[in-house]
Amino acid sequence: MLHKLALIHSIPGRTRFNLGLKYGKGAEIEAIFRSIPFVYSASYTGETGSILIYHDTRVTWKDLYRTLSNSKKETQEKARFPIAEVLVCLSAFVFELTRVSPILTQGTTNLLRPSSLAVLYSSQKIIKNGIVAVMTKGKPNADTLTSAALLASILKGSPKSALIIYLMSTISEWLTEFTAYKTRNYVRDMLSVKVDSVWRVDETGKEERVPVEQVKVGDQVVVFQGEKVVVDGKIVAGVATIDESSITGEFIPKELTTGNNVFAGSVVVEGSVRILVEKAGDDTAISRMIHLIEEAQTKQAPIQSIANRLSDKLVPISFILAGLIYVVTKDWNKVLNMLVIDYVCGIKLSTATAISSSIGLAAKNGILLKGGQTIEKLAQIDTVILDKTGTVTEGRPVVTKVIPFSDWTEDNVLAISASAEEHSSHPIAEAICNEANERNLPIPEHKEIEMIVGRGIKAIINDKLVLVGSKLFLTDWDITLDPLNKLNSEINQDENMVFVSYDTQLIGIIVLEDKVREGMKKTINQLRRHGVDEVIMLTGDRFHPAKKIADKLGMDAFIAEALPEDKANFVMKYKSKTDHLMMVGDGVNDAPALAYANVGITLGTKRTDIAVETADVIVTADDPLALAEVIKMSQKTMKLIYQNLIVTVLVNSGAILMGTLGYITPVIGAAIHNAATIAVVLNSGKIILLGGRGSGNKVSNRSQYYW
């Protein structure tokens, strides 16, 4: 339909196309056009084969055409089921079953029988691949074995065997392709922006509709309510509620305004914003995520390589055994059983399907795995090293205690401090101001403010000198610290403290600490349940704060005051004790350590680009429980693979034994072999094919893993 789409006429808000299709299915055609976001209505006229579309006045007919063309391309990516070939074979199979007097001849004359021709026509690709493998690589593959079984069945005068071999092997191959397609499109549908045009602001401030491809870094674009963001950038005007669930995994929309960052793939739920473009096209975070997942599916796990090598070795063995059986027994039925029953399909297809499905399911839950080898490594993890700031903790300080002196109260100390700090962007200033706001404190006005880098802030409040900063900062101004002598039992000198003075007098101390991520304690407990023996924390922070957090979370050990190179060296040396080490971090200083670990994971929305590039696993949400879940998922996947290998070997070995002894015919042998292959492929494919139906553990109100 779409390749014949031609414009009849177009005015703003109203366009008519000729589809070149008279008396088509009007309801389906109209539904296709109405599914476009900026189309209000679509009316198809069967007599003329045209469709009248009412749409947003800002959208041109070219925008409509481009959107429909992209939809066509997407549909072509579907896993193709060979309907014509299968129908031909099914017809031939029915013919063979209903024939009253079968011809029991053997030889090349059987190649001309209708059922034989049907098999040869349907399986031409398989036969071609099998022959090419022998001619080019000098060794047979799975298609060579299948081709031999098909031809042998035909020459023996048993086309039913050939038909069953083709039909069932086709179904198992298609199931594998369909699972890979589902995985690929699960991720693309979830993450893809799928917007062809955007409102760009020109030099005069006027908004114009342009194709997404024309947007470049430095442009400004406007995104209205209900529209998707197509670029990464910073908001320069406007306020909007934005759903970032496809990027961060957080299901609650955020209210963002000037200065906040936004990412392609997020949706403006309410309001509108103008965005300064910082990244566009394939450079956006969401495009990189899609690329990482697609690349991951091409990276084989060691067990996949083993399965492939084992399969390649089993093919010539099957030929040798078939030859030996013919020499010993001269029984073509027993020879055919050796050819129609093999381990190759079940081993290769089920393993590839399980790995592909797991990568897709993880992506659906906001976890990007860089290849099948990562799944196998994760399943064996016994030691986890966690960076503290931004991983174990939220990476932002909070006020835990306020200690006032003299006649001052906690609220008064906080109010004075917040007044001095309210224009500072330092995390400590933000923590003090947040605490004051939570207590609904009236903030006094300040006059002049001076920030002394690395020391603190000097302000004039109520015509009095106010100092907020380190102990050294106050002593530089000759502020007496005598009140501290009475508090030695209440405070630990290693804690993070801010000192506050008013009119040359020390009036209080504010104690801060980096807040532990919600769910971190539960995460560590779950890691231990999934086979992790040691949990260690690495941090550049001081000893006391690090010890406090390690004790609180029940960690086995911690390393404090570690520089980036210290972290990397520690991980490298610790690998001599175990080959199953996982490192979790999020910053530039964690990148070397992530690279040295057997599995590196970056966690959360504050992760840096270099950490993402270095890590093997990217958790897109601020949810530490995903660490335990990804290990659990990997262990389940590997268990499923081994389960499939055992089933494949047992079932096919039993069928080969019964065929060799003459208890089953080649038709039954082919049915048993292919049924086992379909069963193990379905067993692997259920990971993604079920699409989240079953029972399992929730991950932070996002999607669930089901097994």
**Beta strands per DSSP E along 112-159:** none
* Element housing 55 (H / E): strand 50-55
Residue 273's alpha-carbon distances to 199, 233, 389, 404, in angstroms, are: 11, 11, 32, 44
Residue 299's alpha-carbon distances to 348, 578, 629, in angstroms, are: 15, 24, 22
Task: Give the three-class secondary structure for 166.
Answer: helix
What is the C-alpha separation between 79 and 170, in angstroms, rounded?
A: 13
12 in Cβ contact with 57 (< 8 Å): yes
Neighbours of 323 (CB within 10 A): 12
Q: Which long-range contacts (CB under 8 A, 24 or more apart) does 51-58 make?
A: 51/16, 51/17, 51/19, 52/14, 52/15, 52/16, 53/14, 53/15, 53/16, 53/17, 54/13, 54/14, 55/13, 55/14, 55/15, 56/13, 57/12, 57/13, 58/199, 58/209
* Element housing 242 (H / E): strand 232-243
Locate 326 and state its tokens.
């013919």
| DSSP secondary structure of 177-235 | HHHHHHHHHHHHHHH-----EEEEE-TTS-EEEEEGGG--TT-EEEE-TTPBP-SEEEE
What is the C-alpha separation between 524 and 535, in angstroms, rounded?
A: 8
* Element housing 289 (H / E): helix 285-296
* 581 phi and psi angles, rounded to 5 deg: -110, 130
Of 496, 481, 509, 486, nearest in space to 416 by CA: 509
Measure the CA dihedral 336/339/341/343, to 10°. 170
What is the C-alpha separation between 668 and 163, in angstroms, rounded?
A: 12
What is the C-alpha separation between 184 and 77, in angstroms, rounded?
A: 10
Which residues are annotated as catalytic? 387
Rounded to 5 degrees, what angle do the CA atoms 239, 245, 251 make? 90
Give residues with Cβ within 8 angstroms of 293, minimum separation 6.
187, 359, 360, 363, 368, 369
231 in Cβ contact with 280 (< 8 Å): yes
Residue 465's alpha-carbon distances to 418, 480, 500, in angstroms, are: 14, 14, 11
Give residues with Cβ within 8 angstroms of 120, minimum separation 6.
111, 127, 150, 154
Locate 319 and state its tokens.
């030929």
403 in Cβ contact with 487 (< 8 Å): yes
